[in-house]
Amino acid sequence: MEHETAAPAPAFELANVRFKDVLDIENLKIEACKVSAIVGPSGGGKTTLLRMLNRMTTPDSGRVLFFGQSVEEMDPVHLRRKVVMLTQMPVIFAGTVRENLLIGCRLAEKEEPAQEAVAAIMERVGLDKELSSDAAQLSGGEKQRLALARVMLMEPEVMLLDEPSASLDEQTEVLIFDLVTEFCCERCKTLIMVTHSEKGFTGYYDTLVRIRDGRVEQVTHKSGKRGG
Ligand SMILES: Nc1ncnc2c1ncn2[C@@H]1O[C@H](COP(=O)(O)OP(=O)(O)O)[C@@H](O)[C@H]1O
Ligand SMILES: [Mg+2]
């Protein structure tokens, strides 16, 4: 059967989205299977924008579409299984490292990942700890990587990362950028990441979205970013 190849549907499309005096976005498309960086001054609305993408925050007006479907029409559990957010200050639950890794899947009512997948993810984020060890004993950077591993285990279609490298040193930051972008690219997942490190993240993103005072100030698409 012959047919024209249509432009791929964006992962997200926002139209006339308003939320209090915090966000006012006329139009924004976020491409699927790409890396998008969200940057801009503090208080500009970056976190609020991410929260709208998995309906943690609902706009006062306008529409947020996920692959063409309004997120308001979707079952929130279903949506949050596919669109997973790692918050700026990740939550570490009382219990073991293993419990902390598996709780994401449990809360999203997803099947428990296999033992090998859990071990592989620990190695990938560079957490050299026993699964039975107490999560509370981890350092700040280790907790952040634990929370990231928890999100990756959920195998979401879209990862929303809110400044995942904020409290990390430069070396660990590079490790995290490599890790999350590789993870998404190899699986054709969509990565949307708020970052302060606009320069440090330059080699990684396909699209840059700058938010200022609740508005989209700039959208820049790069081409042929990877492999170079
Ligand atoms: N639910 C809310 N109701 C009212 N104001 C909010 C709400 N959430 C965030 N804000 C305000 O919106 C502004 C932008 O916040 P935020 O999205 O966290 O910005 P950023 O992540 O860019 O620093 C801030 O002034 C914040 O206090
Ligand atoms: Mg924020």
Q: Which carries the bigger pLDDT value, residue 88 or residue 43? A: 43
Residue nearest to atom 5 of ligand 1 (CA): 22
Give helix 140-153 / helix 170-187 axis angle, nearest 10°.
0
Is residue 135 very low, low, confident or very high in pLDDT (cuts 50, 70, 90)?
Answer: very high
Please count the structural domains in the chain. 1
Q: Which ligand is closest to the CA of 89, given by its number?
A: 2
- The pTM for the full model equals 0.94
- pLDDT given at position 11: 98
CATH code assigned at 44: 3.40.50.300
User: Ligand 1 pocket check: which of 17, 22, 52, 195 to mutate, most ligand atoms within 8 Å of Cβ?
Assistant: 22
* Mean pLDDT across 107-118: 93
CA 222 centroid distance within chain: 19
For the stretch 167-226, pLDDT in tens is: 788 888 998 999 999 999 999 999 999 999 999 999 999 999 999 999 999 999 997 665
Is residue 89 very low, low, confident or very high in pLDDT (cuts 50, 70, 90)?
Answer: confident
- pLDDT given at position 168: 81
- The token pair at 166 is 């904020």
**How many angstroms does the Cα of residue 45 sit away from the middle of ligand 1?**
6
Rounded-to-integer distance, Cα 102 and Cα 105, Å: 6
Q: Is residue 134 part of a domain?
A: yes
Q: Is residue 5 part of a domain?
A: no
Q: Is residue 2 part of a domain?
A: no
Exposure string for 19-39, b = 16+ CB within 10 A, e = fewer: beebbbbeebbbbbbbbbbbb
Q: Is residue 163 part of a domain?
A: yes
Contact 25, 49 (CB under 8 A): yes
Q: Is residue 117 part of a domain?
A: yes
Q: Is residue 4 part of a domain?
A: no
- pLDDT given at position 163: 94
Rounded-to-integer distance, Cα 177 and Cα 181, Å: 6
The boundaries of the domain holding residue 153 are 12-221
For the stretch 98-107, pLDDT in tens is: 999 999 999 9
Task: Choose from 107-116, 139-148, 207-216 the range with maximum mean pLDDT.
Answer: 207-216
Contact 85, 54 (CB under 8 A): yes
Rounded-to-integer distance, Cα 43 and Cα 41, Å: 6
Residue by residue, DSSP assigns 159-172 as EEEESTTTTS-HHH
- pLDDT given at position 227: 43
For the stretch 12-59, pLDDT in tens is: 999 999 999 999 999 999 999 999 999 999 999 999 999 999 999 999
Per-residue pLDDT at 4 exceeds 70: no
Strand order in the sheet with 207-212: 83-86, 158-162, 190-194, 35-39, 207-212, 215-221
Distances (CA, A) of 158 to 91, 148, 197: 19, 13, 21
Is residue 228 very low, low, confident or very high in pLDDT (cuts 50, 70, 90)?
Answer: very low
Q: Is residue 23 part of a domain?
A: yes
Q: Which carries the bigger pLDDT value, residue 164 or residue 100? A: 100
Residue nearest to atom 25 of ligand 1 (CA): 43
Nearest to 162 by CA among 127, 211, 120: 211
Q: Is residue 7 part of a domain?
A: no
Which 8-state DSSP code applies to residue 214? T
- pLDDT given at position 90: 86
